[in-house]
Amino acid sequence: MGTIEGVLLTPLKIIEGSSGNVWHGLKNDESSFAGFGEAYFSGVLQHAVKGWKRHRVMILNIVVPVGVIHFVLFDGRENSISYGQFQEIILSQQNYQRLTVPPGVWMAFKGMDDQNLLLNIASIKHDPSEAENLPLVNEFIHYKPFLV
Amino acid sequence: MGTIEGVLLTPLKIIEGSSGNVWHGLKNDESSFAGFGEAYFSGVLQHAVKGWKRHRVMILNIVVPVGVIHFVLFDGRENSISYGQFQEIILSQQNYQRLTVPPGVWMAFKGMDDQNLLLNIASIKHDPSEAENLPLVNEFIHYKPFLV
């Protein structure tokens, strides 16, 4: 379990206010900004898992404003120094960071709280032709915590 | 109470899934996309109000993924055909639409549920010099529902 090349975790500011807080997401001059294609939310039910999925082109910038989401990444890029490695990250309002995922890295994530929602500020629009999916249990990604 | 010139409401798709839904936000080829400056969340506590505020440059693209938020807009643009008019919008997962607010339109919003959160995909980065604030009660914006 290490750190995958090109995966970034960026702590984000929370500005407290008496009427409600402001939670930073992404600015266009930050180093992990890779263009704006689309922003969408993905909900994940408690104990449910979405994945595995990887993109050939899209760079993901993920923030978790609601609940607790357990991410597992797997480096499937043969030319990467971290090829074959896993990385685990748990994001929430308590650990409020942005997760940047480069193309070629497999991702799966599990909902840990009653309600769980991520925002993905994606570098390109949704395009099924540039994404691959694999079942949670498959020949080369064996990840015990997600083998429910 | 009418429709303010340049204010857009765009119904958004919700893609249902057994592990959790996907909620559309904004794509870069939609007509209400005005560039990406920054994405941030603003929370508003139940019964609390944020506003009045207007921007001279920023175009706001607002989505409400959590709770119920009651927006009131006031057209302060003297050259607008809807100058001096109010517009009310209530957004939530049940009325899942994107609210686009052009520069020059005053906005205030109130939290209606236990937890309320909006995402603003703003056309420019936060810049206090291009925003103006007014107290909820002021000389020219008298809006009864917010006079708590």
Instruction: Summarize pLDDT for B27-48 with one digit per residue, the tens.
Output: 999 999 999 999 999 999 999 9
User: Quick check: A38 and B50 CB within 8 A?
Assistant: no
Contact of A110 with chain B, judged by CB distance below 8 Å, is answered with no
Beta-strand ranges (E) seen in A17-85 are 22-27, 38-43, 49-55, 60-66, 68-75
Q: How many Å apart are CA A50 and CA A42, to the nearest integer?
A: 10
Q: How many Å apart are CA B14 and CA A40, to the nearest integer?
A: 10
Confidence of residue B147 (pLDDT cuts 50, 70, 90): very low
Report CA dihedral (A131, A134, A136, A137) to the nearest 10 degrees: -160
Across chain A, what does the average pLDDT equal? 93
Q: How many Å apart are CA B135 and CA B126, to the nearest integer?
A: 20
Mean pLDDT of A89-115: 97
| CATH class of segment(s) B8-124 | mainly beta
Instruction: Please give the DSSP secondary-structure letter assigned to residue A139.
Output: S
Q: Which two tokens stand for residue A36?
A: 């704006």
Select from B19, B25, B37 the Cβ nearest to the Cβ of A41.
B25
**Which among B110, B102, B101, B103 is positioned nearest to B132, based on CA atoms?**
B103
Confidence of residue B143 (pLDDT cuts 50, 70, 90): low
Percent of chain B with pLDDT over 90: 88
Asked whether the beta carbons of A119 and A38 are under 8 A apart, the reply is no
B92 chain-A contacts, CB cut-off 8 A: none
Predicted local confidence at residue A1, as pLDDT: 59
Mean pLDDT of A48-76: 96
A64, closest residue in chain B (CA to CA): B41
A28 chain-B contacts, CB cut-off 8 A: 36-38, 125
Q: Which two tokens stand for residue B57?
A: 């440059």
| CATH class of segment(s) A8-146 | mainly beta
